Structure 1
Amino acid sequence: MTAALIGLGRMGLRHLDNLLALKLEVVGVCDPFDQARAAAKEKAQLSDDRLYADPVELIAQSKPELLIIATTAPAHADLTCLAAEAGVKAILCEKPMATSLADAQRMIDVCKSHGARLSINHQMRFMDQYILPKQMLDSEQFGGVTSIHVSAGNFGLAMNGSHYFEMFRFMAGAPAAEVQAWFSADKVPNPRGPQFEDRAGSVRLVTASGIRFMLDASSDQGHGVRVMYGARHGQIFVDELGGKMNWTVRKAEHRDMPTTRYGMPWEEGACDIPPADALVPSLRVLEALLAETDYPTGEDGLGAIRALVAAHVSAKEQHRVVRLDEELPETLVYPWA
């Protein structure tokens, strides 16, 4: 299969590593910066005719079967639609999927109408730090997930918070039904440029069945990502950056007792878990897209964007609870990177 890549920043070069690992024929790479193209040329041993500064030219001339879009978010929608219209059959787009709900939906619609498979690089279903807790939480021993709490440094609610909105859908087995948000008052400069803005703060999601999620990534927090999963019979704690997991769970003979008996005898355990990293999980997303099995779809990406837009609405409107089935600002464009 022939493949091309647009965007050769840090994440783009990781995607290039994955294309090489899968032994795909890289027919073109694109970035406006000479230094970025030179780094990709050396990494993949590419000839000059496979280096592009203009993504439109890359799509038209290289005619890839697979395209990875690793640019900043404002370019995602137009490049995805252009690729689908040009006959590209598999597209992997970085997150956040788009900078408006209308653009995210347009990406889905254009890909469907041209027979292109669209995947958004939300890798949670392929990461051990989520797979293992989900297996445990879904077991009779733990009795099902009831809540998720994430405490993190200020990693941006669009940049990384959108990942956790998709993580919540995956772990809960259902989409969020309502959103409430509290944004930090200050706006920290975005490392990707002054034209971009990504808010910090806290966001609460709840499914229709009552499973709860709370993310605190406020601007006064500068380190760490720790997750606590609550279940009917126990708790699981994950240090995502440190690669540590531990848990505590009621002994089997006490599982039928009411939750008010919260101090009954318990069992506990701990293990190492692979620390958070984007390279291998992104490879798994790409493999699933190519195999057409269980990849994060455009609809999954749209769900994360709807939660993100609802968070902006809630924070702007005095933290009101916003239902995800209500009308949201479809065409409003956000300055996400």
Structure 2
Amino acid sequence: MTAVRTAAVIGAGSQGAVHAFGLSHIPNLRIVAISDVDQVAATALAARHDAQAYTDVERLFAEQRVDLLSVCAPAAAHPVIVALALAHGVTAIHCEKPMALTYGEARRLVETAAAHGATLTINHQRRFDRMHRAVRERVAGGAIGELLGAQGYCANLFDWGSHTIDLLRLHLGDPTATSVLAQIDVAARKRVYGAPTETAGVATVRFDSGIDAVITTGRDEPLHPLGHNGIVIQGASGRVDVFGGRAVIHADGELPVEILESVGEEFRIELGGVDPAVIEQTALALADLVHSAETGAAPVLAARHGLAAAEIVFAAYESSVRRGLVRLPLDVFDNALQRGLDEGLWAPATEIVSTY
């Protein structure tokens, strides 16, 4: 396999800074370029890592040899950026979630990377969270008995939901979704990082294991007594609640076991107020991508996991538009939420521009 020696970051916001920090901690890897449409942001982050600043991605690839690319731009830009990177010989790409604005574009990201022989990962970095890894080990070891079901709670499906779905799949053993039945509300024309999302919703996902997961979304009212964002894994002899950096395992006949989110001391730094756990998880994900690209080993955040989450999100939107069950694999490649808005299916009364 090809050695990974140079890296670039597209997007110099808070998450771009997180990716750059992670890349800077990988031995024998040098950050050569930072790009952002905001010249000031690009220059500031590039200076921090002794890299060249760009506002033009095409110029970056024309002037720099890049082995690994971190894509931290909004989802709408992902297809163009990834296509350019692959055309210029980038062999490893770590792309922020959500993958793309439509299911078709998300699929093409994966297919095009595979056609070029490149390794593509999607930054569902919570798979590297120490707490979630400990919970996964205990659940897989039978701590709550046979798995019966799961619930997820988050602000919206498209952005927060991609993490929620990925974590549900992780703790259920990464099953394949076979159908989705959902309903969403779009009371406001809401955009998160430029992408349309619902204001509230509920989706039931059936997996090939026979287990159902129910995901509830919204941000106006508490979704669960333990918090807005979290998951619950149900077993025949107990359950696990994971909310806000704290997991509690309730097993029949035993006292609750608490597992707290922890982080290495080297990652307790200030990067625009970013959670240190996210900094550590992203750094581990990037190091794992380098290892994968150089050895051929399957990466933990393989693009197939990101695509599986995206398929469920877009199937939930499709189910809401159809008012019926959507069987998978999904054979509709646009974004049904946007289609429904265009067709007047919802009549949002206000507008919300948000980060969640």
TM norm. shorter chain > 0.5: yes
* Matched residue SS, 1:197: strand
TM-score w.r.t. length of structure 2: 0.81
1:269 paired with 2:257, answer yes
Instruction: Tell me whether 136-145 or 73-82 shows the greater mean CA deviation.
Output: 136-145
The offset of 1:4, in angstroms, is: 0.5
Distance 2:97 2:193 in 1: 14
Q: 1:224 aligns with which of 213, 223, 228?
A: 228
Q: How does 1:230-245 map to 2 (within 5 A)?
A: 230-239=234-243, 241=244, 243-245=245-247
Is the Cα–Cα contact under 8 Å of residues 22 and 279 in structure 2 kept in the other structure? yes
1:102 paired with 2:88, answer no
Q: What amino acid maps onto 1:301 in structure 2?
A: G
After superposition, give the CA deviation of every residue in 1:244-264 in whole Å (9 maximum; x if it has no partner).
2222212xxxxxxxxxxxxxx
Is the Cα–Cα contact under 8 Å of residues 129 and 238 in structure 1 kept in the other structure? no
Distance 2:63 2:337 in 1: 32
The offset of 1:334, in angstroms, is: 6.7
After superposition, give the CA deviation of every residue in 1:166-212 in whole Å (9 maximum; x if it has no partner).
2222221212211122213412643535xx31223222212122212
Structure 2: give runs of 5+ residues left out of the alignment: 264-274, 339-353
Is the Cα–Cα contact under 8 Å of residues 71 and 93 in structure 2 kept in the other structure? yes
Match of 2:343 in 1: none
Match of 2:319 in 1: 314
C-alpha distance 145-160 of structure 1, shift in aligned 2 (>3 A): same
1:72 paired with 2:74, answer yes
The offset of 1:108, in angstroms, is: 2.0
Q: Report sequence identity in percent.
A: 25
Distance 1:324 1:143 in 2: 28
Match of 1:190 in 2: 191
The offset of 1:11, in angstroms, is: 0.7
Is the Cα–Cα contact under 8 Å of residues 113 and 120 in structure 2 kept in the other structure? yes
Is the Cα–Cα contact under 8 Å of residues 2 and 26 in structure 1 kept in the other structure? yes
Is the Cα–Cα contact under 8 Å of residues 138 and 144 in structure 1 kept in the other structure? no
Distance 1:237 1:131 in 2: 14
The offset of 1:43, in angstroms, is: 2.1
The offset of 1:271, in angstroms, is: 3.5
Instruction: Tell me whether 223-232 or 266-275 shows the greater mean CA deviation.
Output: 266-275
The offset of 1:34, in angstroms, is: 2.0
* Matched residue SS, 2:34: strand
C-alpha distance 66-199 of structure 1, shift in aligned 2 (>3 A): same
Match of 1:262 in 2: none
Distance 1:213 1:205 in 2: 5
Match of 1:170 in 2: 170
Match of 2:198 in 1: 199
The offset of 1:101, in angstroms, is: 2.3
1:296 paired with 2:296, answer no
Is the Cα–Cα contact under 8 Å of residues 188 and 219 in structure 1 kept in the other structure? no
The offset of 1:51, in angstroms, is: 0.8
Match of 1:281 in 2: 281
After superposition, give the CA deviation of every residue in 1:218-240 in whole Å (9 maximum; x if it has no partner).
2423663232211121111222x
Residue correspondences, number: 312
Match of 2:36 in 1: 31
Distance 1:161 1:13 in 2: 23
Match of 1:63 in 2: 65
* Matched residue SS, 1:224: coil
Distance 2:228 2:114 in 1: 39
After superposition, give the CA deviation of every residue in 1:9-30 in whole Å (9 maximum; x if it has no partner).
1111111111112252111110
Measured on the aligned residues, the alpha-carbon RMSD in Å equals: 2.3
Distance 2:327 2:336 in 1: 20
Q: How does 1:109-120 map to 2 (within 5 A)?
A: 109-120=111-122
Match of 2:12 in 1: 8
The offset of 1:76, in angstroms, is: 0.7
Is the Cα–Cα contact under 8 Å of residues 137 and 144 in structure 1 kept in the other structure? no
Is the Cα–Cα contact under 8 Å of residues 147 and 236 in structure 2 kept in the other structure? yes
C-alpha distance 90-7 of structure 1, shift in aligned 2 (>3 A): same
Is the Cα–Cα contact under 8 Å of residues 186 and 219 in structure 1 kept in the other structure? no
1:45 paired with 2:50, answer yes
Distance 1:214 1:61 in 2: 48
Match of 1:329 in 2: 332
Match of 1:260 in 2: none
C-alpha distance 56-144 of structure 1, shift in aligned 2 (>3 A): farther
Q: Which of structure 1's runs of 4+ aligned residues deviate more than 6 A?
A: 333-337
Distance 2:205 2:278 in 1: 25
* Matched residue SS, 2:73: coil
After superposition, give the CA deviation of every residue in 1:51-85 in whole Å (9 maximum; x if it has no partner).
10011111221120111111000111121122112
Distance 1:124 1:271 in 2: 15
C-alpha distance 177-197 of structure 1, shift in aligned 2 (>3 A): same
* Matched residue SS, 2:142: coil
Q: How does 1:130-145 map to 2 (within 5 A)?
A: 130-145=132-147
The offset of 1:273, in angstroms, is: 2.6
Distance 2:284 2:327 in 1: 33
* Matched residue SS, 2:251: strand
C-alpha distance 141-19 of structure 1, shift in aligned 2 (>3 A): closer
The offset of 1:266, in angstroms, is: 4.0
Q: What amino acid maps onto 2:197 in structure 1?
A: D
Structure 1: give runs of 5+ residues left out of the alignment: 251-264
